[in-house]
Structure 1
Amino acid sequence: CLNSHESCTKQVERDGAWYPPRLIDVGVQHPKLILTSSESQVGPYATLSHCWGPNPSFLQLSKSNMDEFQNEIRLQDLPQTFRDAIEVVRWFSIRYLWIDSLCIQQSGEGSNKDWQYHASIMDRIYSKCVLNIAAAWAQSAHGGCFSTRQSEVAERCIAFARSFKGIEGIQGIRSTADSNLTAVHESPLSARGWVLQERMLSPRVLSFGQDQVFWECNKLRNGSEAYPCGFDTHTFYPVFDIPLTVSQWGCSWLWARIIEDYSGKSLSHPLEDGFVALSAIARQITQLKDDWYIAGLFWRDFPAQLLWEVKPSHSFLGRTTRPTGNYRAPTWSWASLDG
């Protein structure tokens, strides 16, 4: 991807080096937390997208253990998903890894301020990484990235040609594997509201599904072990690529698609995170459209975006749509509803 995908390498050339305030250095024997403002780090970093799970009790960064983390983070103390992610980035010879719960202070004095600052730069954290690792089928941080599978599930697809009603050369393709659309986009990870922008902003995503590994980037959409060359769909649209391929009208259409997808996802704290979990994408589109973003809508598209409606299909998925318990947005905004 870095060597041969022109549309992917353009972004790297344009951005230059940038690092989040904290990273996990996995290039040493024992991983440790580093402060990028005081270290001379060299090379790219990867990010991890994962499900926290109910009542998360795994190791997290706090005011009290920050100094200890800078000395060493013991692998045996980390949940399985984190350990697997470290193994993956080491395999790719990537030295640094960003994990939200280990790089954003979760408790103690200053944690709220630290979270607010990181939320404001979330678009940069994911768009500047070289790779996003997605633990798609793990329902918690203890589920891991890797799973035991049947080898035939990941067999490459079989292409064939046959005649049909006298027409020669009808081509077909078959595989025993599920498509990316179901294996990744309907996974437990994909149900999380925060993950939408993590996936859209990352330049390339390596997803660990239940049966196989999937790849997405600007050039290769929906690649997998069964479909190595991928196939083009509109389910994955990196935001940073919009200026090269999408018009102003296209941005408006894309925002409508994003809201439709996002509003069906779940948040642990919908009142507090409803706008924040989408803010990184909103900032990018605001800059591209040169527009004003108001309560989930864009000023120049206000008449059209006021025509939103609730789709009955959401109830079929077991979700209910209802007004938020406390004020989050005006009633004319889609954000005034949960679900």
Structure 2
Amino acid sequence: LKQCERYHPRCCQYKVHGYPTRLLQIEMSGTQTSIRLFTVESASFSGNYAALSHRWGPPSSVFSTTKSKLARFQNSIPVSQLPKTFLDAIEITKALGLAYLWIDSLCIIQDSRVDWETESAKMDKVYLNAAVTIAASSSGDTQGGCFLDLVQPASRLPDCPLNKRGWVFQEMVLSSRILHFTQDQVYWQCRETMISNRFTFAPNMIPDGDLPLLWWSWAVDYSSRVFTKPEDRLYAYAGITKFYERLSGSSTIVLGLLRERLPTDLHWSCRGDKPRLRITTTNLPSWTW
């Protein structure tokens, strides 16, 4: 992490102004760990934070912040009640020397539509500005944890359970640095290199040159992902849209299509034999993918 911050200019160039409204503040008293919801004042906040990328599992089983719990969690969150993935992420955050952690189910008020829409619009800032993203890549839910019993043979990182989740796509694209915890090893991924126990290579996560081709490679990947709520597809891509428009400097995205290439991009089609879904709960036009 320190080497990346010091020697990788590409890993720092995409930061933007702004923070999530809330972070988890991690404090130590002797050997005891305490956490609470910390309200971020963007004008004065200067701390680094980690962000967790994880699969929820059944939404009803996720430990979360609600309107009735908010005041209590701002004082203290009971560590003993946290699921294993959250506990492991806290330990990783502490080990990296960071005092703040962002977890979606705790830092967004889950039964407030207003708060959910406000914070989901900031997702690009959450992951672009995080010092590192902790990815519980092989866990199917919040009880799976980050530290797993190693298995052989190694599985491909794209095949991990986490990478099938729709919301995770923008987390992977926008994060400057990611620690993937999988069943066979730990991967470090940043915009300039990827390192595991077995290899090192340069992935060139945001290549120079043909940005429209990059946009459509993202669209192909994203369109194959799974959502608990299909109507979230547009929200979960909003951060990618804003990021691409900043990258290009001139492009405008119209519901998933490039405005300057609209006649060409309207020729998109579905591939494979899976059922073709149409989201009926939103007012999206028929011509967008």
Q: Same fold (TM over 0.5)?
A: yes
Indicate conservation of the 8 Å contact 1:191/1:265, yes or no.
Answer: yes
Indicate conservation of the 8 Å contact 1:27/1:96, yes or no.
Answer: no
Q: What CA deviation, in whole Å up to 9, does each residue of 1:28-78 have, x standing for no partner?
A: 331111111299655310000000102432321111111111111121111
Cα distance in structure 1, aligned partners of 2:20 and 2:93: 17
Indicate conservation of the 8 Å contact 2:192/2:202, yes or no.
Answer: no
Paired position in structure 2 for 1:166: none
Indicate conservation of the 8 Å contact 2:16/2:125, yes or no.
Answer: no
Letter in 2 for 1:224: S
Alignment of 1:279 onto 2:238: yes
Cα distance in structure 2, aligned partners of 1:197 and 1:91: 25
Letter in 2 for 1:333: T
Paired position in structure 2 for 1:269: 229
Paired position in structure 2 for 1:19: 19
User: Normalized against structure 1, the TM-score is what?
Assistant: 0.77
Letter in 1 for 2:242: R
Distance 1:17 1:302, change over 3 A: closer
Indicate conservation of the 8 Å contact 2:62/2:105, yes or no.
Answer: no
Distance 1:307 1:116, change over 3 A: same
Letter in 2 for 1:116: E
What SS does the corresponding residue of 1:322 show, helix, strand or coil? coil
- How many Å apart are 1:299 and its aligned residue? 0.7
| Aligned positions of 1:241-256 closer than 5 A | 245-247=207-209, 250-256=210-216
- How many Å apart are 1:303 and its aligned residue? 1.8
- How many Å apart are 1:332 and its aligned residue? 1.9
Gaps of 5+ in 1: 154-175, 239-244, 335-339
- How many Å apart are 1:324 and its aligned residue? 2.9
Alignment of 1:31 onto 2:3: no
Paired position in structure 2 for 1:295: 255
Paired position in structure 1 for 2:279: 324
Paired position in structure 2 for 1:310: 270
Paired position in structure 2 for 1:259: 219
- How many Å apart are 1:83 and its aligned residue? 0.3
Indicate conservation of the 8 Å contact 1:25/1:95, yes or no.
Answer: yes
Distance 1:278 1:7, change over 3 A: farther
Cα distance in structure 2, aligned partners of 1:74 and 1:327: 38
Cα distance in structure 2, aligned partners of 1:17 and 1:216: 23
Indicate conservation of the 8 Å contact 1:2/1:9, yes or no.
Answer: no
Distance 1:251 1:324, change over 3 A: same
Distance 1:326 1:65, change over 3 A: closer
Cα distance in structure 2, aligned partners of 1:64 and 1:26: 22
Alignment of 1:189 onto 2:190: no
**Larger deviation, residues 186-195 vs 285-294:** 285-294
Indicate conservation of the 8 Å contact 2:24/2:35, yes or no.
Answer: yes
Which runs of structure 1 show a deviation greater than 6 angstroms over 4 or more consecutive aligned residues?
A: none
Indicate conservation of the 8 Å contact 1:177/1:226, yes or no.
Answer: no
Paired position in structure 2 for 1:135: 136
What SS does the corresponding residue of 1:215 show, helix, strand or coil? strand
Distance 1:322 1:67, change over 3 A: closer
Indicate conservation of the 8 Å contact 1:7/1:219, yes or no.
Answer: no
Cα distance in structure 2, aligned partners of 1:299 and 1:38: 33
Distance 1:133 1:14, change over 3 A: closer
Superposition RMSD on alpha carbons, in Å?
A: 2.3
Cα distance in structure 1, aligned partners of 2:259 and 2:44: 43
- How many Å apart are 1:4 and its aligned residue? 5.2
Distance 1:102 1:286, change over 3 A: same
Paired position in structure 2 for 1:77: 81
- Percentage of identical aligned residues: 33
Distance 1:198 1:13, change over 3 A: closer
- How many Å apart are 1:325 and its aligned residue? 3.5
- How many Å apart are 1:79 and its aligned residue? 0.7
Higher RCO, Cα 8 Å, sep 6+:
2
Indicate conservation of the 8 Å contact 2:180/2:188, yes or no.
Answer: yes
Q: What CA deviation, in whole Å up to 9, does each residue of 1:240-274 have, x standing for no partner?
A: xxxxx523xx1110110001000000111112x11
Cα distance in structure 2, aligned partners of 1:219 and 1:10: 7
Given the alignment, which residue of 193, 204, 209 partners 1:220? Answer: 193
Paired position in structure 2 for 1:162: none
- Aligned residue-pair number: 284
Indicate conservation of the 8 Å contact 2:19/2:42, yes or no.
Answer: no
What SS does the corresponding residue of 1:274 show, helix, strand or coil? helix
